[in-house]
Structure 1
Amino acid sequence: MNAMPLFGKKYDPRVTQKYSIKETLGRGAFSEVVKAQDRETGTQYAIKIIDKKQLKGKEEALQNEIEVLRKVSHPNIVKLYEMYDDKSKVYLVMELVCGGELFDRIVEKGTYTEKDASELIAQILGGVNYLHSQGIVHRDLKPENLLCYSKEDSKIMISDFGLSKIASEPETMPAMQTACGTPGYVAPEVLRRQPYNQAVDCWSIGVIAYILLCGYPPFYDEEDSELFKQIMKGTYEFDSPYWDDISDSAKNFITHLMELDPKKRYNCEQALKHPWICGGMARTTNIHSTVTEQIHKTRARCNWKRVGNVVVAMQKMKLLMGQVHKEHDNDTTKSDAAEDKTTTQGATGGPP
């Protein structure tokens, strides 16, 4: 049965003449994604339908996504095939990716090993390395934006380029200063309000790798201001017993990506050459039960800090960053002993 059109309005006849609209795959505040079939070839696609009226004030994110998707072509990046535009809607005809979010797939698996995690991270690194070679910084890498190609194929597909930055010349990527991203995955230099570059994506991949190996995030606090302080200090642990069966090579890999100094942080090419990725150092012990148990607990606790409105998230981040820096400036007048006491009171990442 065909899906009900977004907000009860009809679809553009140019779209319905070429595609048979099937069921709705998902809906957001200003868009819906439907499954569609090419009437001539039978090929299935996903069509993202954006309501322009609802999108008002957020046009830049849509323009970014379209610009990136038109520019790129990589096995681990969702493809954009064509676009339709009318007075009320924008239609993006995209590759159908229906395997679900990465972490959901891990939970559904019967077995899951460190080697599996290594292979997943290698795919992400490959896709992001390609983006960087094209002068594109994603700036919002997180589990929700990593999809599995299908139920049968666990190929990783990177999506959602609304916050991406594109350089006119890939070789001369300019420093960026816009505060954007998702709390928990954002790099410390962004929170410090320092100029930053593509190294922010590598930090985010480090956070994702950490979660893939234990099921919980390296940084966590109910208050984002406290979370940001943790990230800026780079304070995280490989807690026992959750990390006892994880190799030293995996921990070494993570520390190179979650390096506070972006100049010392591994880039994608360096990370792809790490022994944990390409040297057979990843263990094959089944860690499925431990990881999935922690994923369930973490989701119940903080729901991965999901944010539906990117603009609101960015504004909130700017305000919180100002608050964090103000508190930090006040803290510098305190004694070293008082400062030590303050840093040990906040809840760090760790298991739920």
Structure 2
Amino acid sequence: MDKEGKKTKTFVSTFQLALKPQARLCRVEKQKENGLDKRTVISNDIKTVSSTTDARRTQAQSLEAPRFKEPLRDCAVCDGTDACFQGVITGSEPLNISWLHNGEKVPSSKIYFWNGVASLSLSQCSPANAGTYTCTAENTAGKQSSSAVLYVKAIMEIPRTDRYDLQSDATEKVASQENTEQLSTLKEESQHREEKDKGPPVEFIEPPEQVEVQVGQQARLFCEFRSSCVPVACCWIYNKDKVVAEGPQVSVRSSGTQSSVIISQALPKDTGSYTVVARNRAGTAQHTVSLSVIDRPDPPASQPVVSQLSTQSLVLSWTGPSYDGGTAVLGYIVEVSQVGPNESTTWTELTNCCKNTSYHVRSGLEPQGEYRFRIRAYNSAGTSDPSQESGCVKMATTAKEKKEKPGSYITVTIDTKHKVRDHYNVHEKLGVGKFGEVYRVTHKETGQECAGKFYRARTTKERSAARKEIELMNKLHHPKLVQCLAAYDTRSEMVMVMEYIAGGELFKHIVDENFEHTEPTSARYMQQILEGMQYVHKQNIVHLDLKPENIVCVDTAGTRIKIIDFGLARELEEGKPLMVMHGTPEFVAPEVINYEPVGLETDMWSIGVICFILLSGESPFQGNSDAETFALVTAACYEFDEESFEDISDQAKDFISSLLKKDRRDRLLCTEALLHPWMVSFTPLTRRPTKSLNKEKMRHFLAKRKWKKTGKAVLALQRIANLSNRPDSPGSSSEELGWSQEAEEAIKSLDRQLQAEPRFQHVLKDITLPKGATAQLKCLITGYPQPKVKWLQNEEPLSESRRVTMEQHRDGLCSLILADLKPSDSGLYVCKASNKLGEAMCSAKLKVQL
């Protein structure tokens, strides 16, 4: 055979195993048809195999080779008892697990592999089962083995070996004549162990509360813990819903001291709460870590809208980004471009630290100049792309003077000499509240129709509260606020006379068949509420009970409204935090429930709830009970139902969202809210097609609230305080919500993973002691559920007595204490442990010397 022939033969012998015969034959025939000779075909096969081998090698390098985190341990058992070997293995799946006994393959019926634990179970061992057992774990990245030895001895012949020695030096020695002291020492040791057992089964060591990473970075959630016993089984639950499982981007690792989830490239969808549940045979513990995956925000959702235009200034308003990047928007950058003959596209920063969605441009603009504006949002991760540009804005040529109509208001002095009936006729009752009752009254001379608020003022405290309301009303002179006209304070009664507002509650007015309910009309109502509350807040007064019942129409035909009932209003004082415990569950702000300082922003939350109901007919935080409502409020948990908000603009939803912020410092104030794009877009100058809103849900809302009038809805201090006490407060109720079915199953499986038949980690050993001494036989048992232990002497059951004490501790240590030894105590002692999965036993001889 020539050299070329030999080379060809070598090629064939080297690579023929890499190609399936039939596939190789087809390939050769096909390539022959294409004019290729046999050597060329083989050369092509060589390249194919080489490429495949390289790809497999690259893939193998990226995998984790198997590793025994907990190797097998030697085991000694009595003839006829069971044995079990276990090893904890890590490495990339799939793992191939095999066992050998003295080099021979072990039947698969005796082995299993679950959750990283490889086990081999042997029943009723005989001397034939003794020898070396080897477990091998293998994957495409490599393999590793671990070996251990099994000793099987006759029940009378278990050797004494230091390897399994649990006896203290003191118990091995011949007891002294001070036998009582020795027994006392053993009891003290037992009490100390019992105290130790009372500690938590699993205790987390300084676990993280929150982890924040940027998009694309590695997210590592790591919890270290102490366990009262091993083994420990762990699982991670995402948002109390889904079990966190291994995947291409997710790695889950657990051991007896720690557990972790590693997401190699975090995405916004990974944001949420991750709860690690760790369970050992003594109990369960859990800890939740909040993961925030942040990115730079989306651009502001709308182009800037211009209002309050003058010669050199204007107000810009816009809508925040539809996605904030997973972390709070820190501010906005306002940019301007001057429009010239050649349409310049140069953009200049007007400000880079605007904190709200509106900005008053006071400088840098010229009279009759033409400009375009755009906005960028920024957070801790970066700055967004710019918003859409505004239309071309031309500055005014001359300043417009604002003219305000002066109002005539009365500053009331409380009349202490007359009764209300001296000047007014009292008619029908209009309403009842916690404060007292309201009647329609008419002035005897002028016939003016008014409302008389008759206070329940039997105590000094009640009278003081009534006087405070009258004093506050003297500071609230505004067209959008109800006015106080007179006040009377006599021994028998206190009365405040107010404007009589005939139009009724706003929401009842809206559901009238003759009234058109649209988004623009709702915006105008909200604008009036904001204008009235803006004046209240300028006086440093908070209303603290804004709700639909306290927004009334001036008359039945028009659309003008007034704000009423300042009975809970308080004046803020600088340097004196104000905390209150009253309000209406559906409308009260989180800081009230949490008994934290309130402020002007507290009213803004209530305005947001009113606007939500006005547009949808649904209450955002209404639960099945007050406690459930408080929980939703403190969590700021609400959503825009698709059906209810189908015809509502995104600007309106953004307006509501800017008010319903959990942290009161993040809420818009009245001045800022009036500049919101939703408010600006519905000015009388702007006309757009509108659609009538459905009134059915509003009618249903009003029907549900019929029984929840002011007197019943205003909360008593004790009632709300009981619901807001920590740690069972509504604010923490999110932690009390149930697991999903999937999560519950995963947690239940932890218990199943821990289950194991009894096994003696350390066996009894023979001892010889003099008469009158104290003997202590010890052994260490593993198994779950916790094995029940029985002691036998010479095959007869033992029971506790004055001289005999039996102890079993949570960590598996079992002991038999025999005090004041007698010759009859000599014999063979057997400890038998059993649970639902099996049984094991070990024995030792006790010899009592005379």
- TM-score with structure 1 setting the length: 0.81
User: In the alignment, does 2:478 pair up with 1:74?
Assistant: yes
Summarize the alignment of residues 30-49 of structure 1 with structure 2, pairs less than 5 Å apart. Answer: 31-49=436-454
Contact kept, 8 Å, 1:203 with 1:257, in 2: the verdict is: yes
Equivalence for 1:204: 606
Equivalent residue for 2:690, pick from 281, 285, 288: 285
Contact kept, 8 Å, 1:82 with 1:94, in 2: the verdict is: yes
Which protein is bigger by CA-based radius of gyration? Answer: 2
Q: For each residue in 1:153-203, what CA deviation from the matched residue of structure 2 results, as whole angstroms up to 9, or x when unmatched?
A: 3322111112111135xxx37432222211011111222332231101001
User: In the alignment, does 2:622 pair up with 1:220?
Assistant: yes
How far off its partner does 1:19 sit? Answer: 2.6
User: In the alignment, does 2:524 pair up with 1:119?
Assistant: yes
Summarize the alignment of residues 1-352 of structure 1 with structure 2, pairs less than 5 Å apart. Answer: 14-28=419-433, 31-53=436-458, 58-59=462-463, 61-108=465-512, 109-168=514-573, 172=574, 174-280=576-682, 285-288=690-693, 290=694, 292-301=695-704, 303=706, 305-309=708-712, 312-322=715-725, 325-326=728-729
Q: For each residue in 1:75-114, what CA deviation from the matched residue of structure 2 results, as whole angstroms up to 9, or x when unmatched?
A: 1111111111111111212111121111111111431111
Q: Quick one: distance in 2 between partners of 1:213 and 1:337?
A: 34
Q: Quick one: distance in 2 between partners of 1:143 and 1:236?
A: 19
Contact kept, 8 Å, 1:216 with 1:294, in 2: the verdict is: yes
Q: Alignment RMSD, CA only? A: 3.1
How far off its partner does 1:20 sit? Answer: 3.4
Judged with a 3 Å threshold, the aligned counterparts in structure 2 of structure 1 residues 18 and 178 are, in CA distance, closer, same or farther, namely closer
Consecutive unaligned residues of structure 1, counting only runs of 5 or more, are 1-11, 343-352
Contact kept, 8 Å, 2:723 with 2:729, in 1: the verdict is: no
Q: Quick one: distance in 2 between partners of 1:330 and 1:230?
A: 9
Consecutive unaligned residues of structure 2, counting only runs of 5 or more, are 1-416, 745-850
Contact kept, 8 Å, 2:434 with 2:710, in 1: the verdict is: no
Q: For each residue in 1:219-243, what CA deviation from the matched residue of structure 2 results, as whole angstroms up to 9, or x when unmatched?
A: 1211211211111121111112111
Judged with a 3 Å threshold, the aligned counterparts in structure 2 of structure 1 residues 15 and 59 are, in CA distance, closer, same or farther, namely closer
More divergent stretch after superposition (240-249 vs 297-306): 297-306
Amino acid at match of 1:138: H
Judged with a 3 Å threshold, the aligned counterparts in structure 2 of structure 1 residues 313 and 336 are, in CA distance, closer, same or farther, namely closer
- TM-score with structure 2 setting the length: 0.35
Contact kept, 8 Å, 1:125 with 1:272, in 2: the verdict is: yes
Amino acid at match of 2:506: L
Judged with a 3 Å threshold, the aligned counterparts in structure 2 of structure 1 residues 151 and 236 are, in CA distance, closer, same or farther, namely same
Contact kept, 8 Å, 2:432 with 2:711, in 1: the verdict is: no
Q: Quick one: distance in 1 between partners of 2:453 and 2:560?
A: 21
How far off its partner does 1:51 sit? Answer: 4.2
Equivalence for 1:9: none
Q: Quick one: distance in 1 between partners of 2:677 and 2:743?
A: 38
Equivalent position SS for 1:257? coil
Contact kept, 8 Å, 1:20 with 1:37, in 2: the verdict is: yes
Judged with a 3 Å threshold, the aligned counterparts in structure 2 of structure 1 residues 59 and 321 are, in CA distance, closer, same or farther, namely farther
More divergent stretch after superposition (13-22 vs 218-227): 13-22
Q: Quick one: distance in 2 between partners of 1:134 and 1:80?
A: 16
Contact kept, 8 Å, 2:658 with 2:667, in 1: the verdict is: yes
Amino acid at match of 1:177: M
Q: Quick one: distance in 2 between partners of 1:114 and 1:94?
A: 32
Contact kept, 8 Å, 1:64 with 1:161, in 2: the verdict is: no
Equivalence for 2:370: none
Q: Quick one: distance in 2 between partners of 1:28 and 1:237?
A: 32
Contact kept, 8 Å, 1:113 with 1:287, in 2: the verdict is: yes
Judged with a 3 Å threshold, the aligned counterparts in structure 2 of structure 1 residues 324 and 159 are, in CA distance, closer, same or farther, namely farther
Higher helix share: 1
Contact kept, 8 Å, 2:510 with 2:517, in 1: the verdict is: yes
Judged with a 3 Å threshold, the aligned counterparts in structure 2 of structure 1 residues 315 and 160 are, in CA distance, closer, same or farther, namely farther
Contact kept, 8 Å, 1:183 with 1:305, in 2: the verdict is: no
Q: Quick one: distance in 2 between partners of 1:68 and 1:88?
A: 23
* Identity value in percent: 36
Amino acid at match of 2:711: G
How far off its partner does 1:297 sit? Answer: 2.0
Judged with a 3 Å threshold, the aligned counterparts in structure 2 of structure 1 residues 302 and 93 are, in CA distance, closer, same or farther, namely closer
Equivalence for 2:137: none
Equivalent position SS for 2:716? helix
Contact kept, 8 Å, 1:115 with 1:284, in 2: the verdict is: no
Higher strand share: 2
